[in-house]
A and B are shown apart, each in its own frame.
Chain A
Amino acid sequence: KQEVTQIPAALSVPEGENLVLNCSFTDSAIYNLQWFRQDPGKGLTSLLLIQSSQREQTSGRLNASLDKSSGRSTLYIAASQPGDSATYLCAVRRNYNQGGKLIFGQGTELSVKP
């Protein structure tokens, strides 16, 4: 059974710091991995998608890496801003088929202080 773990559960940093969020999964047979952001009381915003054949994806100040063999992904946020404060969720998808479900981690709650 696939389990996804995110460390740390919460993180508070001063503005401007570079930071790394970690995600690990127990079964390396994944189809892809997605990182999401969730603001309080809102839905999820897709940040980055990494297919199993890829090693990393970048979007602006965000960079996500994937090491499938070791069951790990990291989300790197450069030059953090107060607007980055949110809960960050990673999720893995096992199958290609239409029913392939996302398995979510518990999230990392990020607070960036001005």
Chain B
Amino acid sequence: GAVVSQHPSWVICKSGTSVKIECRSLDFQATTMFWYRQFPKQSLMLMATSNEGSKATYEQGVEKDKFLINHASLTLSTLTVTSAHPEDSSFYICSARGGARYNEQFFGPGTRLTVL
């Protein structure tokens, strides 16, 4: 149990386009979801926290108009990188908490975004 999936696992896009990444909790209801960004050889950087049905809370320095987060249901959150630029290239990982194991946080497999 407690499986989190992400789609796509990797994406390559041209500069200026928008990219949507989906995060799903497959076997539990995720009351809270998190989006992280990870650079090579570095730890995870929290971008935002979202509760189902509420607006996301963004960390300092993260542009909310650039990284749109929607937590539309208890099993789905999406991150849209708008007008992507090469500096947005990174590994994006989502995480979810909720259900019977509500104290524990479970992570998706990540999405590798490359912006040309």
Query: Could you count the A-B residue pairs with CB atoms below 8 Å apart for me: how many are there?
Result: 55
Q: How many A residues, CB 8 Å from partner?
A: 23
Q: Which of A16-24, A34-42, A78-86 participates in binding chain B? A: A34-42
Chain A residues whose CB sits within 8 angstroms of the CB of B105 once the complex forms: 34, 46, 91, 93, 102
Contact among B31, B32, B107 with A46 in the assembled complex (CB-CB below 8 Å): B107
Chain B residues whose CB sits within 8 angstroms of the CB of A32 once the complex forms: 103
Contact A36 B107 (CB under 8 A): yes
A31, B31: Cα distance in complex, Å: 18
Contact B109 A42 (CB under 8 A): yes
Contact B107 A44 (CB under 8 A): yes
A85, B19: Cα distance in complex, Å: 33
Contact A89 B107 (CB under 8 A): no
Interface presence of A12 (CB below 8 A) = no
Interface presence of A51 (CB below 8 A) = yes
Q: Which of B41-49, B62-70, B78-86 participates in binding chain A? A: B41-49
CB distance from A38 to the nearest CB of B (A): 9
In A49-102, the 8 Å CB interface with B consists of 49, 51, 89, 91, 93, 98-99, 101-102
Interface presence of A45 (CB below 8 A) = yes
Contact B112 A41 (CB under 8 A): yes
- Residues A101 and B49 in contact in the complex (CB < 8 Å), given A46-B104, A46-B106, A46-B107: yes
CB distance from A41 to the nearest CB of B (A): 7
Provide a sorted-by-A list of 9 A–B residue pairs whose CB atoms are within 8 angstroms: A42-B110, A43-B107, A43-B109, A51-B103, A89-B43, A98-B31, A99-B51, A102-B105, A104-B44
Partner-A contacts on B (CB < 8 A)? 2, 4, 6, 31-32, 34, 42-44, 46, 49, 51, 57, 91, 93, 95, 97, 103-110, 112
